[in-house]
């Protein structure tokens, strides 16, 4: 069975005019899948979406027409047997729900769309996209369950895929470097990947006798050899491969992963097992053995490697971005966000960071949605992790514009705010006897109790204290936990609004505002100007302050003292909390400090991961901070993959689904940067050049059917601003930034120059 499925990407074009094809809708989505022909959907009324195209600046869609049929020929002849929407007058181009005849289970359909734009007019029809149904209305073990299935395309080779997600496939990687040492061959594949290996060997023995190759694989090298004692959970494994006379192709079979955790994710038996490695070393027991070819079979979820790109004038930042982007991709090997070779288990906090990073590197939403739904029903043990199911759902809505997850799991999400743990003082606590069986069932947790974690961890499961919690003082009422509680209430209020539950929306907003007052009364030390760790504590950890700042709890008059305290701590937190630290710093205008942290070369930095030899982000900053377990394959530390586009380049949705876009670059002293960011509406291009304090130029290109609010630094009191070559005499100023609102789609140039 062959697992490389990219070869079966067949798009059927019914257009002959190249320019017309360019302006036809593109980037078709069916249930958020860019390639639904490689999957099976379980939804009887799937959602459709597309990218609107035009060669006119400021253009937008005013109508669309969709056709769905059971054969390509019917679409070509424009005689659809399943659904013809007719011309629908609307600018909506995402999350259009199927409204035709009832779809059948285990069937194949196809669809196409055309649009009418205000300035361009009627488009050509899009390319035709196929989609497959699985068993509709199937009995599920849990809502959102996605099964591995075998798909047999017409005139194609069968392959394994997943319901409602794209498939995973093996990619051939040849050695980047080969070194011969007497009886040993050393191979460097340049990057670690979850992989197995094939080896072509010739053996012409002088006398017949059983013989095996000793094959070692690992993630870390010492010179031109694999480090056999790399420490922590860094991979080094050795296998024996029996060979026979003649020339043969062999597969190095990796032993099957044995799940040791409650919800560990395992590959189906139809897929060869994988292990993360970059290096291979083969010991040759005889001089009459020749290695003809060796191939790393790297396993990845379907990815458009070119969907995103970033480059800038800082070499360290380029290296950090590349590391984090690759780590996000390489840790999708199982079709989900289960990280690390040790556990292969999904955790809400880990998945939220990888979800945000994945949105920033590919126009891919299905895997994130699956992980959201999975974790709602398979909760992990830390208190703050439970709350991040709310964060994940908000991220799904904010990036896709779809309220499906909110609507489908609204009751579960309310429980995930942990309101049931609120006591008479208005704060939540996990240690006041409120963790009943009914409560644990409501959040879908199967253990005995959830526990506060604060940050990753100190003294967890026998691990020696690592300092990742900055000596946080655990109390009955914990500052960090209640900061997460506040943020979850804010987000639930917004999501209640999104599904038109006005009563709940008002209730959540009022509860959040009340909690903010209670929170600051109990946890803010007015004398010191910073937050303490909990009621009765005199200690102030970095985490108590950074999460309070990140979630908007610090009052305006006290914000500066909190920021300055956090800055004295630099990176006194784990790779996980660094995600929120960077967000908080950018949100309060500390862009230079955030940039310095991302490009630092200390032992608590992403550059340290690179310096030590890892090609994926690691589970901790360094082995010494987690000496027993720390692995080299963990995407929860890949937050710069989304922090750079969202915060440094400043590109974020201004409304759910990117119909409105915010472009608010915060470059610090970075001289130049260029970003390509995929979104559900199409790609956004943004680049800037600056002479610090003298001039700033921003170039952007935003998709048709969107508008942007652009914010650029006010570099001096006396300046000249031009937009597309036109002088702007009285620009709007907000917080020392120049605002240009309602920027139309297309390409624009913003220049600000200090007047002499």
At residue 344, the pLDDT reads 93
Q: Does 294 share its domain with 387?
A: no
Q: Which of 309, 367, 354 is nearest to 633 (CA)?
A: 354
Q: Place 7 in a pLDDT band, splitting at 50, 70 and 90.
A: very low
Q: Determine, yes or no, domain membership for 158.
A: yes
Classify 544 in phi/psi space as left (phi over 0), alpha (psi -120 to 50) or beta.
Answer: alpha
Q: Determine, yes or no, domain membership for 351.
A: no
Pick the range with the lowest mean pLDDT from 73-87, 330-344, 525-539, 575-589: 330-344
Residue 122 sits in a domain whose CATH number is: 2.60.40.10
Give mean pLDDT, residues 8-32: 61
Pick the range with the lowest mean pLDDT from 325-339, 460-474, 617-631: 460-474
Q: How far apart are CA 391 and CA 384, in angstroms?
A: 11
Tell which wins on pLDDT, 698 or 756.
698
At residue 372, the pLDDT reads 98
At residue 260, the pLDDT reads 83
Among residues 569, 602, 635, the one where a domain terminates is 569
Q: Which residue has the tokens 């359909």?
A: 109
Give mean pLDDT, residues 375-379: 97
Burial of 273 (0-12, 13-18, 19+ CB in 10 A): middle
Q: Does 286 share its domain with 208?
A: yes
Residue 564 sits in a domain whose CATH number is: 1.50.10.10
Scored b (16 or more CB within 10 A) or e, 58-77 reads: ebbbbbbbbbbbbeeebbee
Q: Does 293 share its domain with 387?
A: no
Q: Place 22 in a pLDDT band, splitting at 50, 70 and 90.
A: low
Residue 736 sits in a domain whose CATH number is: 2.60.420.10
Q: Does 550 share its domain with 441?
A: yes
Residue 252 sits in a domain whose CATH number is: 2.60.120.260
Q: How far apart are CA 228 and CA 511, in angstroms?
A: 55
Please state whether beta strands 108-117 and 88-89 pair in parallel, antiparallel, or not at all (unpaired).
unpaired
- Whether the CA torsion 339, 578, 308, 684 is positive or negative: it is positive
Q: How many domains does the chain have?
A: 4
Q: Determine, yes or no, domain membership for 551.
A: yes
Pick the range with the lowest mean pLDDT from 12-26, 61-75, 701-715, 725-739: 12-26
Among residues 534, 549, 569, the one where a domain terminates is 569
Q: How far apart are CA 32 and CA 53, in angstroms?
A: 19
3-state secondary structure of 110: strand
Q: Which of 339, 325, 360, 368 is nearest to 638 (CA)?
A: 325
Q: How far apart are CA 345 and CA 223, in angstroms?
A: 33
At residue 8, the pLDDT reads 25
Give residue-wise pLDDT tens across range 182-218. Answer: 899 999 999 999 999 999 999 998 777 889 999 999 9
Q: Determine, yes or no, domain membership for 331.
A: no
Judged against a pLDDT cut of 80, whether residue 459 lies above it is answered with no
- Whole-number average pLDDT of the chain: 94
Q: Does 12 share its domain with 132?
A: yes
At residue 564, the pLDDT reads 98
Q: Are 417 and 390 in contact (CB under 8 A)?
A: yes
Give mean pLDDT, residues 364-375: 97
Q: Does 154 share its domain with 177?
A: no
At residue 467, the pLDDT reads 66
Q: Determine, yes or no, domain membership for 648.
A: no
Q: Does 401 share its domain with 498?
A: yes
Q: Which of 742, 735, 619, 750 is nearest to 696 (CA)?
A: 750
Give residue-wise pLDDT tens across range 234-274. Answer: 999 999 999 999 999 999 999 999 888 888 899 999 999 99
Tell which wins on pLDDT, 97 or 210.
97
Give mean pLDDT, residues 418-432: 98
**What pTM, to 2 d.p., does this model score?**
0.95
Give mean pLDDT, residues 384-402: 98
Q: Does 125 share its domain with 198?
A: no
Tell which wins on pLDDT, 4 or 635.
635
At residue 153, the pLDDT reads 82
Q: Does 287 share its domain with 398?
A: no
Q: How far apart are CA 470 and CA 337, in angstroms?
A: 28
Domain assignment of residue 725, given as a range: 660-754
Q: Does 426 share its domain with 447?
A: yes
Q: Does 174 share its domain with 292?
A: yes
Q: Determine, yes or no, domain membership for 174.
A: yes
Q: Does 279 share its domain with 160?
A: no
Judged against a pLDDT cut of 50, whether residue 5 lies above it is answered with no
Q: Place 18 in a pLDDT band, splitting at 50, 70 and 90.
A: very low
Q: How far apart are CA 247 and CA 713, in angstroms?
A: 65
Q: Determine, yes or no, domain membership for 720.
A: yes
Q: Place 157 in a pLDDT band, splitting at 50, 70 and 90.
A: confident
Q: How far apart are CA 374 and CA 368, in angstroms?
A: 10
- Gyration radius from the chain CA atoms: 27
Among residues 253, 275, 301, the one where a domain terminates is 301
Give mean pLDDT, residues 158-176: 96
Q: Determine, yes or no, domain membership for 371.
A: no
Judged against a pLDDT cut of 80, whether residue 305 lies above it is answered with yes
């Amino acid at each position: 069975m062959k697992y490389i499925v990219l070869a079966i990407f067949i798009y059927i074009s019914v257009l002959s005019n190249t320019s017309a094809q360019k302006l036809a809708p593109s980037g078709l989505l069916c249930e958020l899948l860019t390639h639904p022909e490689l999957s099976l959907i379980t939804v009887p009324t799937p959602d459709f979406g597309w990218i609107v195209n035009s060669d006119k600046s400021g253009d937008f869609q005013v109508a669309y027409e969709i056709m769905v049929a059971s054969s390509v020929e019917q679409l070509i002849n424009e005689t659809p047997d399943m659904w013809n929407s007719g011309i629908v007058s609307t600018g909506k181009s995402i999350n259009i729900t199927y409204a035709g005849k009832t779809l059948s289970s285990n069937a194949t359909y196809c669809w196409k769309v055309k649009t009418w734009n205000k300035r361009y007019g009627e488009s050509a029809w899009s390319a035709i996209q196929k989609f497959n149904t699985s068993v509709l209305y199937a009995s599920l073990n849990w809502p959102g369950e996605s099964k591995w299935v075998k798909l047999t395309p017409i005139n194609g080779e069968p392959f394994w895929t997943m319901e409602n997600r794209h498939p995973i496939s093996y990619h051939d990687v040849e050695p980047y470097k080969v070194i011969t040492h007497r009886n040993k061959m050393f191979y460097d594949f340049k990057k670690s990947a979850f992989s197995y290996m094939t080896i072509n060997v010739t053996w012409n023995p002088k006398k017949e006798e059983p013989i095996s190759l000793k094959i070692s694989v690992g993630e870390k090298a010492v010179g031109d050899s694999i480090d056999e004692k790399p420490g922590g959970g860094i991979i080094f494994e050795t296998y024996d491969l029996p060979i026979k006379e003649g020339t043969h192709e062999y597969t190095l079979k990796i032993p099957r992963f044995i799940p040791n955790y409650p919800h560990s994710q395992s590959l189906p038996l139809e897929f060869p097992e994988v292990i993360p490695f970059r290096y291979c070393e083969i010991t040759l027991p005889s001089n009459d053995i020749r290695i003809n070819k060796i191939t790393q079979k790297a396993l990845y979820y379907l990815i458009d490697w070119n969907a995103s790109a970033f480059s800038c004038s800082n070499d360290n930042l380029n290296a950090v971005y590349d590391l984090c982007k690759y780590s996000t991709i390489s840790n999708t090997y199982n079709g989900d966000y289960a990280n690390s070779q040790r556990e292969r288990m999904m955790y809400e906090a880990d998945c939220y960071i990888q979800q945000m990073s994945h949105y920033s590197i590919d126009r891919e939403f299905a895997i994130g949605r699956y992980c959201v739904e999975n974790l709602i029903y398979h909760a992990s043990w830390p208190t703050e992790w439970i709350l991040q199911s709310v964060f994940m759902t908000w991220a799904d809505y904010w990036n896709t514009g779809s309220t499906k997850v909110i609507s489908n799991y609204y009751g579960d999400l309310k429980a995930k705010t942990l309101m049931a743990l609120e006591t008479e003082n208005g704060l939540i606590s996990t240690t006041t006897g409120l963790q009943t069986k009914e409560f644990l069932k409501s959040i879908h947790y199967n253990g005995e109790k959830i526990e506060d974690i604060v940050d990753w961890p100190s003294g967890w499961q026998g691990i020696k204290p690592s300092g990742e919690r900055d000596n946080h003082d655990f109390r009955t009422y914990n500052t960090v936990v209640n900061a997460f509680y506040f943020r979850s209430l804010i987000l639930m209020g917004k999501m209640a609004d999104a599904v038109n539950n006005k009563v709940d929306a008002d209730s959540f907003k009022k509860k959040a505002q009340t909690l903010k007052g209670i929170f600051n009364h109990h946890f803010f030390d007015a004398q010191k100007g910073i937050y303490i760790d909990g009621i009765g504590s005199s200690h102030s950890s970095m985490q108590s302050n950074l999460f309070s700042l990140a979630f908007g709890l610090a009052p305006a008059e006290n914000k500066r003292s909190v920021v300055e305290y956090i800055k004295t701590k630099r990176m006194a937190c784990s790779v996980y909390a660094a995600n929120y630290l960077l967000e908080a710093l950018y949100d309060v205008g500390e862009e230079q400090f955030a940039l310095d942290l991302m490009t630092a070369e200390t032992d608590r930095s992403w550059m340290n991961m690179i310096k030590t030899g890892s090609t994926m982000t690691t589970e901790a900053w360094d082995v010494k901070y987690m000496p027993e377990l720390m692995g080299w394959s963990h995407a929860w530390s890949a937050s710069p993959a989304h922090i750079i586009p969202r915060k440094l380049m400043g590109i974020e949705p201004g409304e759910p689904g990117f119909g409105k876009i915010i472009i608010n670059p915060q470059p610090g002293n970075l001289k130049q940067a260029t970003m390509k960011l995929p979104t559900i509406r199409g790609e956004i291009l943004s680049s800037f050049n600056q002479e610090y304090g003298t001039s700033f130029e921003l170039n952007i290109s935003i998709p048709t059917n969107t508008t942007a609010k652009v914010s650029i630094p006010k570099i001096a009191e006396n300046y000249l601003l031009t937009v597309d070559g036109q002088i702007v005499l009285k620009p709007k100023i907000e917080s020392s930034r120049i605002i240009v609102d309602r920027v139309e789609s297309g390409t624009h140039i913003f220049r600000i120059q200090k007047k002499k």
